[in-house]
Amino acid sequence: MHLLSAINPLYSVSGFAVGLLVGMTGVGGGSLMTPLLILLFGIHPATAVGTDLLYASATKTGGTLVHGLTRTVEWRVVGWLAAGSVPATVLTLLALSRLDMDGALARRLITLALSGALFATAAALSFRAAILELYARRFGAVDPARVAGLTVVVGAVLGVLVSISSVGAGAIGVTALVLLYPQLPMARIVGSDIAHAVPLTLVAGLGHWVLGSVDWGLFGSLLIGSLPGIVLGSLLSSRMPDPILRILLAGTLFVVGIKLLF
């Protein structure tokens, strides 16, 4: 009853909008929701990160079910990503339990770094064909065993970033998968990225819960709106052409970068 009384319709509407974007593009969870909670609703940054991580694990579970049913998940890629991200997340949470990450300087440095990464991601997706052509000319075909190792490394990097800021599982993950697996259609890249985000955000979110940075009323409000949003977005993603998905994703990341920077 206490949780139901804490439900805020404005948070639920925001959850639906972000869930829709997550389902269609694989991006929007931490990249949009965390800045939205901090800048628009005035939520404490630590609480916004911790609550958003658990919210993301729940919403992306729904998205994974839809992508799984539409066969737009590369499970071997998901396994390689998780092999790097889950151990890295655990180690990062252990470090966070001993360090003060709420300092103004630390928050500013992380925000600047993530803004730059989002702008680079938007540019990479906008000029995907040219970048892939240049990548193929310089590096040629990559050995499958090497691709698997690089995927594990990408997962580890995502584990660190997401545990600290809740941002990166969608934006940076999708970009890395586009470069590592250029033969995959965008819908399968998005589906695989969403599926990998489930264990990553769940482990990180539970860690933040132990650290005391989760608001359950906020979590419930976001979840009520986001679950139908991500299901609808996931269904739309398998029916939209790749170019439209890339343009939508690039525009989303550019807006997010501006929000994080200012």
Give the pLDDT confidence score for residue 204 in this predicted structure.
Answer: 93
Q: Which residues of the chain form beta strands (DSSP E)? A: none
Give the pLDDT confidence score for residue 108 in this predicted structure.
Answer: 72
Confidence of residue 153 (pLDDT cuts 50, 70, 90): very high
Confidence of residue 116 (pLDDT cuts 50, 70, 90): confident
Whole-number percent of the chain with pLDDT over 90 = 18
Give the pLDDT confidence score for residue 125 in this predicted structure.
Answer: 67
Angle at 166 between CA 162 and CA 167, to 5 degrees: 80
Side-chain-side CA neighbours of residue 34 (13 Å): 31
- Between the ranges 8-17, 30-39, 43-52, 239-248, where is the mean pLDDT highest? 8-17
What the block records as the tokens of 31 is 């990249």
Sequence-distant (6+) residues with CB within 8 A of 106 are 100
What the block records as the tokens of 111 is 């925000």
Q: What's the mean per-residue pLDDT of the chain?
A: 81
Average pLDDT over residues 147-160: 93
Inform me whether the pLDDT recorded for 101 exceeds 70: no
- Between the ranges 115-119, 121-125, 218-222, 237-241, where is the mean pLDDT highest? 218-222
Give the pLDDT confidence score for residue 262 in this predicted structure.
Answer: 74
Give the pLDDT confidence score for residue 258 in this predicted structure.
Answer: 83
Whole-number percent of the chain with pLDDT over 70 = 82
Confidence of residue 78 (pLDDT cuts 50, 70, 90): very high
How many Å apart are CA 72 and CA 65, to the nearest integer?
Answer: 10
Give the pLDDT confidence score for residue 80 in this predicted structure.
Answer: 96
